[in-house]
Amino acid sequence: MNSELRLRTPEGIVFSYQLAGPISRCMAWGIDLVMISAIHTGVNFLCTAVGAVSLDFALALSLISYFVISIGYGVATEWAFRGQTVGKRFLRLRVMDAQGLRLQFHQILMRNLLRFADLLPACYMVGGIACLVTRRAQRLGDLAANTVVIHIPKHLEPDLENLLAGKFNSLRQYPHLEARLRQRASAEEARLALQALVRRADLEPAARVRLFSELAEHFKEIVTFPPEAVEAMPDEQYIHNVADILFRTRGGSTPPRGTETAQKSKEALAR
């Protein structure tokens, strides 16, 4: 099973999605089961009122409504909320077409109806095993419907001003190397450096030294600064300076991405 789904558009643009694992999907389904029970309880309350007129009709209504709710809940919510049930929304999961195309109604219907095969022999055993062994973490319903369940990452941005400000950054004395670092370092590498700084207090002293040593070695391979700029500079300070370059502009503030753009980003991801 891959943890990532990479899509390449004919224009040569590659973007990737993080695939959801069986555990988070199971938790989402647990929340959905609670939702199904709650909705059915509400409908049963109405059926009780109908029972005053006809007990037979009320029982029939209760039976049919449970059947329809238990099967239709996933279909209706995933269609209405563009691939998300309440449980999936809560755990930031989303169903999408495996090729990145528009999710169609029959795909949603199929993946939900084929749950019966995934449930076999009990407790989602077939579906869980299928999730673990298939390349894109698909249960049988997903395979048939050509869908995947992705995890929508939450970009929690740390307080860069507090984290990176306050110290002289000798690497900034070489603007051309600074620009080269920003150009060559990937987003993942930048995030790794930042996360190491954010979480350094949680690390054991030996692990902390080893981590920053490896990171510093890695970033030194990406761009080599003159010896006088890094002389006697501890690895942790080196990574601090690298993150400062990658995440903040010369003026000391974070690059102006604009509140509107950031807000749009959040809204788009939430959709």
Tell me which residues touch another protein (CB under 8 A). Answer: 7, 9-13, 15, 54-57, 59-61, 63-64, 67, 71, 82, 97-102, 104-107, 109-110, 113-117, 140-141, 143-146, 153, 155, 157, 179, 182-187, 189-191, 246-248, 255-258, 260-262, 264-265, 268-269, 271
Minimum Å gap between C-beta 206 and another protein is 29
Cβ proximity to another protein, 72 vs 209, nearer residue? 72
Cβ proximity to another protein, 27 vs 39, nearer residue? 39
Cβ proximity to another protein, 207 vs 253, nearer residue? 253
Minimum Å gap between C-beta 144 and another protein is 5
Minimum Å gap between C-beta 258 and another protein is 6
Cβ proximity to another protein, 27 vs 44, nearer residue? 44
Minimum Å gap between C-beta 198 and another protein is 14
Cβ proximity to another protein, 20 vs 110, nearer residue? 110
Minimum Å gap between C-beta 231 and another protein is 26
**Please, what is the end-to-end C-alpha distance for the chain in angstroms?**
26
DSSP symbols for the chain: --SEEEEE-TTS-EEEEEEPPHHHHHHHHHHHHHHHHHHHHHHHHHHHHHHTT-HHHHHHHHHHHHHHHHHHHHHHHHHHTTS--HHHHHTTEEEEETTS-PPPHHHHHHHHHTHHHHTTTTTTHHHHHHHHHSTT---HHHHHHTEEEEE--------HHHHHTTS--GGGG-HHHHHHHHHHS-HHHHHHHHHHHHTGGGS-HHHHHHHHHHHHHHHHHHSPPPHHHHTT--HHHHHHHHHHHHHS-TTSSPP---HHHHHHHHHHHH-
Cβ proximity to another protein, 51 vs 209, nearer residue? 51
Burial of 137 (0-12, 13-18, 19+ CB in 10 A): buried
Minimum Å gap between C-beta 61 and another protein is 8
Token pair of 241 as six digits: 């300076």
Minimum Å gap between C-beta 196 and another protein is 14
Cβ proximity to another protein, 13 vs 201, nearer residue? 13
